[in-house]
Every structure is written in structure tokens, then in C-alpha cells.
Amino acid sequence: MNYRIDNLQYCNWSRDIFKINRDAGLSAVHATVVYHEDYDEFLIKLKEWENLFNENSDLIFLGKTFEDIIKAKSENKTAIFFGFQNCSPIEDDINLIEKVHHHGCRFMQLTYNNQSLLATGCYEKHDSGVTNFGREAIKEMNRIGIVIDMSHSGEKSTLDAIDISEKPIAITHANPSFWHSALRNKSEKLLKHLSNSGGILGLSLYAHHLKDGTDCKLDSFCEMVAKTVDIMGVKNIGIGSDLCLNQPNSIVEWMRNGTWTKTKNYGEGSKSKPEFPDQPEWFIDARGFSNLEKGLKKIGFNENEVNDILGNNWFNFYKGIN
């Protein structure tokens, strides 16, 4: 059985988007539930998701284990797996890790760009690595079954997390920096260490992570995939599109600024281009998976390899979460 999985989306969720994901054949989507929200605010987001599940029960349901991906495939639905892009919902309390897991959380970034209580983000000047609390939190996440996601973390923190975690970690949405140098993209050294430890990289389709941004060509993307496979092997790569469909620009402001600054921060954007960037034309939404399929075959991947990259690798990774 083959599965299509997009292991990172943060859309302005609606029935239309769930239909698109279903039409794209996605059996699982890792959905960002919160950025900088604390525990109470996460609980409020949960209520919004309860409504979405109730109103779209023919299209989606809450995914908890890899078996829900199998179920979704058989029912022509999409299992939604919850994730956090920052560790703010666990606040400063290690006991909240078990509680957020109980509410469905399966992926948690240790940082979002800035320093967190657990590790250093990729936008800080200095990276001191995983903190004292971070070590304890990783141990607890391993025990409970929440994947450590280092997509927005600094290099030292990520290497630390790989070494400290007893389970493989994930970088759910980022690209290699050899292709496009950006604070959010990852070095060859890091990618090798990630794959050697059984970890997985979800390749991003977000314009700021792409060579030539919105104008990035499908061929260029697929060449990058081939080179990344040379570094990491074909079993440690998947897709984490980072699609932010229909989000208003106030959301990208929230992602970048949270409540930590009175001076506006533009993150990957700039003062003259603060908005969400446009998607490349061959991946305007999850239906672009079919373009990826064509592109990957064209560059020389065989059927099995294409299926691995477009979902089976993530499926196998999910098997190891609990």
C-alpha cells in the first residue's frame, strides 16, 4: 500500500481545503495547531478543531497513530495529526507534555526561530544548544510519544536534540541550504547526522525556502531532491509543504512577532515584502503532489522511490512514534 502524506500544513482551514487535500490523495496531514499560544489558548484552538471535525467528518478525523493513516486511506479521508510550531503550550511545566499528548499533539518544535526554554531558534545570534529543561522535555516526549521537530531550530540545538533523543527526530518542513541558503534551511552536516540517526526531513514548498522563491522551477526542486537523497538516502525524506493557504497576512505577523517584541519583526520577509509569499505555480496547493510525482520520475526516481518520498517514508516514521 502507498500513502501520500503532507507532514506540515498551516492553512486557514475550511471544507474547501480538506477537499483539496482529499483530492490530492493525502491520507495524513500534520497540521500546525498553534505557534506561540500557551496551554489555555491551545485548548481554545482545540474547540475550533472539534467543530471542524464535526462539520467535515466525511473528509477528516483526528489522527493518533499510524493505524489512522491506514484507516484514512481505506475510507478516502485525511487523518489530521496535531503539531505545535513552538513549545509555548507546555509553558514551563514538564507535566503539560503528557496533557498535550492526551489532546492529540504528536509533533512539537522545541523552538520557533527565537530562543525557547528548551533550545535555540535559527534566528538567534548564538545557539547554546538544548537547555537543562530541554533535556528533561526530550526525555518526556520520548516517553509519551511526541516527535521532536527541529524545523525552526539552530544547528547546534538540532544536533544536540538528535543526540539526546532516544527516538528519531523530525525536521518536518525545511530544505537543504546547499540549494538555497536561508536561516531556516539545513546544512549537509546536519542532514547526514539526521538520517544516520533514523530521523526524517520533510521538504518544504514555502517560497522563502525555495531557490528563486515563487519562481522556483519544478525541475530545480526535483534536482535538489536527488542531491538530498545522495546525502540522506531515499528512506529519510518526505514532504512537509508548509502550505499556509488562505491565511490573512495578520497570521504571518503573529508567527513572526508573537508577543515578544514591540519592534516589528519581518522574519523571512522584509519591510517591503512582509506578506505571505505566493506559491510556485506547480504547487499552489496539495494537488501539486501530482506534479512532484511527475518531476521526481523525470529526474530518475523509480516508482517505489517516488512513493517513499511522497508519503511512505512518513508512514514508516509514524510507526515508530509510540
Task: Name the site residues for its own copies (rule: CB under 8 A).
Answer: 36, 38, 88, 91-95, 114-117, 120, 123-129, 131-134, 136, 139-140, 258-263, 265
Start-end of H helices in 10-56? 15-23, 39-55
Q: For its own copies, which is the closer residue by CB, 85 or 115?
A: 115
CB of 82 to its own copies, least distance (A): 20
CB of 145 to its own copies, least distance (A): 16
Cβ neighbours for 281, distance < 8 A, ≥ 6 positions apart: none
By CB atoms closer than 10 A (0-12, 13-18, 19+), residue 66 is: buried
By CB atoms closer than 10 A (0-12, 13-18, 19+), residue 61 is: middle
Residue 43: which of 55, 33, 57, 30 has the closest Cα?
A: 33
Q: For its own copies, which is the closer residue by CB, 118 or 224?
A: 118
> What is the C-alpha separation between 48 and 113, in angstroms, rounded?
26
Q: For its own copies, which is the closer residue by CB, 123 or 318?
A: 123
Query: Strand (E) positions, 204-270?
Result: 237-239
CB of 205 to its own copies, least distance (A): 27
CB of 34 to its own copies, least distance (A): 12
Q: For its own copies, which is the closer residue by CB, 119 or 234?
A: 119
CB of 86 to its own copies, least distance (A): 9
Q: How is residue 306 written as a grid cell? A: 517516488
Q: For its own copies, which is the closer residue by CB, 36 or 77?
A: 36
CB of 136 to its own copies, least distance (A): 5
Q: How is residue 12 written as a grid cell? A: 486557514
61: Cα separation from own chain's centroid: 19
Q: For its own copies, which is the closer residue by CB, 54 or 259?
A: 259
